Amino acid sequence: MAISAVFLARRPPVYVLGAAAGPGTPVPAVALPSGSGLVPASWKRVSRTRTQLVRQIAYVLAGEGAAATIRRYLVMVLLACGTVEITIGREAG
């Protein structure tokens, strides 16, 4: 009874709202500093062919778009980008 009173209240406590936001909420806050630290090294590694540059820009745009819109699925977008890059690397090598 007490739990339902907390969850069904007009203004639940802040800690209840924070818990309801889910574990996906802090992902963009962690991913942004991590990603910004990796970008310079990634740009140096790209051999500057047109296809690599297009892929690199597509990955950045996909990550930024996911962080801004579908926050809790940002990790899935980043994993998809990594999978594409690994697949392309294996086919080339």
Note whether 42 and 56 are within 8 A (CB).
yes
Mean pLDDT of each 10-residue bin along the chain, 93 residues long: 60 67 63 74 77 89 88 87 90 74
Q: 24: Cβ–Cβ under 8 A, 6 or more apart, which residues?
A: 71, 72, 73, 74
- What is the value of pTM for the model shown? 0.59
Note whether 70 and 24 are within 8 A (CB).
no
Q: Specify the pLDDT at position 81.
A: 93
